[in-house]
């Protein structure tokens, strides 16, 4: 079995290579958060400083934009995960009328170009006289994340053995009890993956948001606008902090997992 | 109400068309036409005579386009008692228009009293679709007194009927002095086979069209359809010869400062920033001509506080205020007196501040010379019909 | 009650899709058949020729987009599957940590990622500049502004969307089944092909659906990383919509794109051995 172990080790290294590859631009971003730049442009290295960390909140609009993004991402992720998991369950576990159509809609939401989705949502809101603000951003983010959650959850459900749930019910569990104690734990990896995907989709979205935001500005929107005059290093610092908090959560999780074992 | 009162039924039709608005209409109703008749002078006067100061104003602008302490706006507040909301909500002219169109088409207010847009296709759409409130120049004394002559005569908005400039910039040629060892003076260099694969052109139809016309000795402000076709051919030949690396939007600037392209069409303000950062880039207005573009302030249709908006626009034309703004923004101010004010300030400043102020005052990128101005032209002025000819000619080159 | 369950489960999702997707799409379908311009207004003329015109003008970009999207999806599958496999079977208690780390770079704005990539991949930057300095690359070697850059960018930006669903379906597979299969089929490769791969197919299908479709429609990578002759259909839709205000053409192109993608996914489901794409998606 030596060959097997070697293969596993190689795959382990390979996985880390992919993680490093995906994170490589982040290293540049972090670096330029320490750049002691002399003009507005922050693209060539000019020396080390901690100034931008001290002046992190000196650009009030940027701070607000970041906060808006976090609120929108959190809210839309929660909503998407709940209704997406329900829809995924219905599609993956049940037979019902309109199933084909529902599948088609899930596909359609996935394949609508972002620009078209943004523009058509805006027309809808305008014609319904709905003011554009954080709420309309959340509604739109739920729409484009929904399919990702549905598809991920469904891919999980279809590999599950339905007899487990039947057994639970035969043993006298209620429908809700069966769901909570049998179904949910077994689809949890899918739900979690869907949640992470929809958070990433939301916090990074520019195109759709730029249509439905009204005068609410999110982090990506602010940055795209600032490209015209030069992106301030505080943006890098904020990106660094988001990334840093993420790594801390990951490390904390890993440590906790080890303790549990 | 900020627009002439509309019959009720027509407004309902607009509301219905709202669903269609950004171009998406229900089968039966279609999208309403919006072509605006030029406002009658009386109607404009009449409109303004009914407006009063409300004590608040909402200003929509691009990020990083106002000092972080909002100094000019604070001074405005002290001087007039008008409170302001300043929103950095504009990221791209096209995106902003895409968002504004359905709202304004439905007859709803945008929620901003002043909006800043670059002259170009989208601004022209705004004006032609009747989305912009004509200005009352009797309330713009500082503009009349302090704006440079060049900023009062602009092809895209003659007599400043709808807009006044916020900041200007120039489209010229930037080159990386590490790789280009000659002095670039001519647009011909952009078409020179010896720079094969090292030339950046802009993706925007009006920008790229202007430069091809300069190269052919055509004045874009007076160009005809035949000229555009010639220009399109010239650009196509340039592309097919492999000279162009890429048709850029904003990210040409990184490409030239790192040497991915050696020379490129460029906007003056960007290059100035890179020079201050010590990067090896030079900027030149070519002998054949360069393009001057302007970010303009306008009052959108349905704005709640037009009088307050007008007062703020005018306030920004006080030389001291304009100087404070330009010291931060570092583009070309429409107020020529700014140069002298910054020069005075440099004399009293010390150290790094003094150095950077002196750099600004001496920079042709912030204060173009008269000779530069003489070579500068605006974008080609296009009617709706012309646009449908003009755009495809150049888009078929840049978006192949 | 049991019979009502799927309807109740699907209801919120249905409402969301019906209000925010179906209504606007119906409107868009209508616009795609209208003629006129933004100033004089558009009128319904049932001009199906809009489709013929749009496809005729932009068939090059349409075909190119599908090609790029397909290449990127294939690359993602090859790169991503082993990662999903290792995390699912060997990730131990830290499975979700690995997934989280894979996705974390995408919590930071694409503008910052793009600027960083331009910095790293610049012709004379820290990577290629150094290699050129050592004489390992020809002086005019470049990656930015090429087809490779666009396909690479798509691969990079959508990779987690391939890895996660594959992981989700693999994680379900009991390692003991794999071991038993290895005993049964003698070689690891055979065990993988006969047992693991079939069990992961729903995840692969989901992954391909979630990457191929958005990658083909994506305008950003071509815009930022491409050169001349790399324009994708997403860029064209954007220009027609925002610059030319040609809403009928933009709508017709969007529908054509969706139809083409649907056909592509259908063909792919067939190749996987499923009779019906909607069935495949439902199972």
A72-76, A122-126, B13-17: range with lowest mean pLDDT = B13-17
Assigned token pair, C272: 């996987």
The distance from CA B188 to its chain's CA centroid, rounded to whole angstroms, is: 26
- CATH code for B12-168+293-362? 3.40.190.10
Q: What is the pLDDT of residue B301?
A: 95
- Given a cut of 80, whether residue B20 has pLDDT beyond it is no
pLDDT band at residue B394 under the 50/70/90 scheme: very high
Do the domains B170-292+369-398 and B12-168+293-362 match in fold?
yes
Give pLDDT tens digits for B164-175: 999 999 999 999
Output DSSP code: residue B138.
G
Q: What is the pLDDT of residue C1?
A: 55
Tens-place pLDDT, residues A180-200: 888 899 899 899 999 999 999
3-state secondary structure of C208: helix
**Chain centre distance of CA B398:** 21
Using a cut of 0.90, tell me whether the model's pTM lies above it.
no
Contact B30 C36 (CB under 8 A): yes
Task: Please report the pLDDT score of residue B143 as a whole number.
Answer: 97
Residue A12: which of C5, C16, C90 has the nearest Cβ? C90
What CA–CA distance (Å, rounded) separates B364 from B380?
A: 24
Using the beta-carbon criterion (under 8 Å), do C12 and A7 form an inter-chain contact? no
Rounded Cα–Cα distance for residues B279 and A43 (Å) = 9
Mean pLDDT of chain B: 87
CA neighbor of B376 nearest in space, from B99, B176, B168: B168
Q: What are phi and psi of B91, to 5 degrees?
A: -110, -35
Q: Taking chain B, what is the end-to-end CA distance rounded to the nearest angstrom?
A: 46
Q: How far apart are CA B376 and CA B195, in angstroms?
A: 25
Supply A216's token pair: 């609410």
> What CA–CA distance (Å, rounded) separates B162 from B314?
14
For residue C104, what is the DSSP state? G
Chain-chain contact of A230 with B64 (C-beta, under 8 angstroms): yes
Q: Return the bridge partners of B296, or none.
A: B117, B165
Residues 6+ apart with CB under 8 A from C81: C166, C204
For residue C237, the model assigns a pLDDT of: 93
Please list every residue in chain A whose beta carbon sits closer than 8 Å to the beta carbon of residue C12: 82-83, 86-87
Contacts of C54 (CB under 8 A, 6+ apart): C249, C252, C253, C256
> In whole angstroms, what is the distance from residue C57 CA to residue C231 CA?
13
> What are the phi and psi torsion angles at B132 (to 5°)?
-120, 135
pLDDT in tens, A90-129: 998 888 888 888 988 998 898 888 888 988 898 889 888 8
Chains A & C: contacts with CB separation below 8 Å: 306
C99 near A CB under 8 A: yes
Say what percent of chain A tops pLDDT 90: 51
Q: Could you tell me if C123 and C144 are in contact, meaning their C-beta atoms sit under 8 angstroms apart? A: yes
Distance CA B201, CA B235 (A): 10
Q: State the alpha helices, DSSP H only, in C218-283.
A: 220-225, 233-238, 247-271, 277-282
Domain boundaries, chain B: 12-168+293-362, 170-292+369-398
Query: Of B289, B183, B270, B277, whose CA–CA distance to B231 is shortest?
Result: B289
DSSP H/E element including A2: helix A2-32
pLDDT averaged per 10 residues in sequence order, chain C, 283 residues? 82 94 90 85 89 94 96 97 94 88 89 84 89 89 93 95 92 83 79 86 90 91 91 93 88 91 82 51 42
Long-range pairs, B91-96, Cβ under 8 A, ≥24: B91/A210, B91/A221, B91/A224, B91/A225, B91/B62, B91/B63, B92/A210, B92/A224, B92/A225, B93/B117, B93/B118, B93/B120, B93/B121, B93/B122, B93/B123, B94/B122, B94/C238, B94/C242, B94/C243, B95/A210, B95/A211, B95/C242, B96/B122
Q: Which CATH number fits domain C59-282: 1.10.10.1100, 3.30.930.10, 1.10.3720.10, 2.90.10.10?
A: 1.10.3720.10
- What digits encode the pLDDT tens for the residues B56-115? 999 999 888 998 889 999 999 999 999 999 998 888 888 899 889 989 988 899 999 999
C242 touches chain B (CB under 8 A): yes
For B292-350, write each residue's pLDDT tens digit. Answer: 999 999 999 999 999 999 999 999 999 999 999 999 888 999 999 999 999 999 999 98
- Angstrom distance (rounded) from CA C223 to CA C106: 19
Strand order in the sheet with C41-44: B31-32, C41-44, C34-37
Q: How close does chain B come to A108, measured CA to CA in Å?
A: 17
- Burial, B5: exposed, middle or buried (Cβ in 10 Å; 0-12, 13-18, 19+)? exposed
CATH class of B170-292+369-398: alpha beta
Distance of alpha carbon B81 from alpha carbon B83, whole angstroms: 6
Confidence of residue A2 (pLDDT cuts 50, 70, 90): very low
Tell me which H or E stretch contains B267: strand B263-267
Task: Report the chain A residue with the minimal C-alpha distance to residue B59.
Answer: A215
Scan for tokens 């303004």, then name that residue: B48
User: Per the structure block, which two tokens stand in for C10?
Assistant: 């699907």
Residue B62 phi, psi dihedral angles, 5° rounding: -80, 155
Domain spans, chain C: 59-282
Q: Which of B88, B275, B295, B300 to mutate to test the interface with A (most CBs of A within 10 A)?
A: B88
Dump pLDDT digits (tens) for B129-167.
999 999 999 999 999 999 998 898 888 898 999 999 999
């Amino acid at each position: 079995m030596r060959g097997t172990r070697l293969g596993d080790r190689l795959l382990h290294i390979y996985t880390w290579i992919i993680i490093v590859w995906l994170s490589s631009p982040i290293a540049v971003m972090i670096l330029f958060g320490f750049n002691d730049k002399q003009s507005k442009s922050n693209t060539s290295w000019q020396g080390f400083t901690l100034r931008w960390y001290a002046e992190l909140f000196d650009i009030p609009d940027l701070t607000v934009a970041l906060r808006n993004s976090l609120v929108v991402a959190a809210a839309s992720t929660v909503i998407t995960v709940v209704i997406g998991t329900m829809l995924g369950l219905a599609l993956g576990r049940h037979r019902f009328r309109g199933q084909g159509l529902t599948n088609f809609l899930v596909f359609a939401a996935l394949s609508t170009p972002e620009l078209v989705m943004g523009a058509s949502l805006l027309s809808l809101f305008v014609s319904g006289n709905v003011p554009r603000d954080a709420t309309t951003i959340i509604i739109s983010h739920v729409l484009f994340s929904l399919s990702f959650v549905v598809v991920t959850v469904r891919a999980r459900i279809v590999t599950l053995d339905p007899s487990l749930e039947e057994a639970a019910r035969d043993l006298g569990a209620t429908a809700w009890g069966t769901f909570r104690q049998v179904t949910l734990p077994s689809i949890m990896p899918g739900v979690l993956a869907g949640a992470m995907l929809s958070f990433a989709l939301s916090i990074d979205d520019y195109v759709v948001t730029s249509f439905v935001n009204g005068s609410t500005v999110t982090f990506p929107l602010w940055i795209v606008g600032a490209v015209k005059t030069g992106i301030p290093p505080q943006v890098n610092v904020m990106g660094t902090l988001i990334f840093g908090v993420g790594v801390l959560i990951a490390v904390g999780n890993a440590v906790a997992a080890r303790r549990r074992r | 109400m900020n627009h002439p009162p509309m019959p009720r039924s027509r407004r309902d039709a607009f509301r219905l068309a709202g669903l269609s608005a950004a171009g998406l209409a229900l089968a039966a109703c279609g999208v309403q036409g919006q072509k605006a008749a030029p406002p009658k002078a009386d109607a404009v006067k009449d409109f303004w005579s009914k407006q009063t100061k409300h004590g608040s104003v909402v200003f929509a602008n691009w990020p990083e386009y106002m000092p972080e302490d909002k100094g000019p706006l604070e001074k405005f507040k002290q001087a007039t008692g008008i409170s302001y909301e300043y929103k950095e909500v504009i990221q791209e002219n096209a995106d902003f228009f895409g968002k504004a169109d359905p709202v304004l088409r439905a007859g709803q207010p945008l929620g901003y009293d002043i909006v800043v847009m670059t002259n170009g296709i989208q601004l022209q759409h705004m004006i032609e679709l009747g989305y912009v409130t004509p200005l009352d120049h009797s309330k713009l004394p500082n503009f009349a007194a302090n704006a440079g002559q060049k900023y009062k005569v602009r092809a895209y908005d003659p007599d400043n009927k709808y807009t006044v400039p916020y900041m200007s910039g120039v489209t010229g040629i930037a080159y990386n002095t590490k790789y280009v060892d000659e002095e670039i003076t001519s647009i011909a260099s952009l078409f020179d086979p010896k720079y094969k694969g090292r030339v950046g052109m802009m993706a925007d139809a009006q920008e790229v069209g202007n430069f091809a016309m300069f190269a052919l000795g055509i004045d874009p402000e007076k160009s005809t359809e035949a000229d555009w076709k010639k220009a399109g051919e010239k650009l196509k030949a340039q592309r097919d010869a492999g000279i162009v690396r890429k048709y850029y939007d904003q990210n040409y600037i990184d490409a030239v400062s790192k040497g991915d392209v050696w020379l490129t069409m460029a906007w003056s303000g960007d290059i100035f920033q890179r020079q201050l950062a010590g990067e090896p880039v030079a900027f030149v207005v070519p002998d054949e001509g360069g393009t001057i573009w302007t970010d303009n302030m306008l009052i959108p249709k349905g704005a709640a506080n037009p009088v307050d908006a007008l007062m703020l626009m005018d306030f920004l034309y006080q030389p001291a205020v304009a100087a404070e703004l330009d010291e931060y923004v570092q583009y070309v101010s429409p107020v020529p007196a700014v140069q002298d004010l910054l020069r005075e300030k440099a004399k009293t400043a010390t150290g790094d501040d003094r150095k950077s102020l002196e750099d600004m005052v001496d920079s042709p990128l912030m204060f173009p010379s008269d000779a530069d101005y003489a070579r500068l032209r605006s974008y080609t002025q296009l009617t709706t019909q012309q646009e449908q000819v003009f755009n495809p000619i150049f888009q078929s080159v840049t978006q192949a | 009650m049991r019979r009502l369950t799927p309807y109740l489960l699907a209801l919120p999702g249905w409402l969301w899709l019906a209000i925010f997707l179906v209504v606007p799409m119906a409107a868009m379908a209508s616009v795609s058949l209208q003629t006129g311009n933004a100033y004089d207004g558009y009128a319904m003329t049932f001009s199906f020729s809009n489709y013929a015109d749009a496809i005729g003008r932009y068939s090059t970009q349409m075909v190119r987009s599908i090609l790029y999207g397909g290449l990127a999806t294939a690359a993602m599958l090859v790169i991503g599957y082993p990662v999903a496999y290792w995390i699912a079977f060997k990730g131990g208690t830290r499975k979700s940590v690995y997934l989280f780390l894979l996705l974390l770079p995408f919590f930071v704005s694409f503008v910052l990622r793009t600027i960083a990539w331009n910095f790293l991949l610049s012709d004379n930057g820290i990577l290629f500049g150094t290699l050129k300095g050592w004489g390992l690359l020809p002086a005019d070697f470049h990656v930015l502004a090429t087809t490779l850059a666009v396909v690479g960018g798509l691969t990079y930006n959508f990779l987690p969307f391939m890895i996660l669903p594959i992981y989700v379906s693999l994680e379900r597979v009991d390692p003991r089944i794999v071991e038993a299969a290895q005993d049964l089929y003698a070689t690891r490769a055979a065990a993988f092909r006969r047992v693991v791969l079939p069990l992961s197919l729903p995840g692969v299908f989901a992954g391909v659906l979630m990457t191929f479709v958005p990658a083909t429609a994506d305008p950003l990578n071509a815009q930022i990383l491409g050169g001349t002759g790399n324009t994708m259909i997403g860029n064209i839709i954007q220009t027609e919509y925002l610059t030319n205000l040609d809403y009928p053409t933009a709508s017709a192109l969007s529908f054509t794109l969706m139809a083409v993608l649907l056909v592509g996914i259908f063909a792919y489901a067939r190749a996987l051995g499923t009779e019906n794409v909607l069935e495949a998606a439902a199972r």
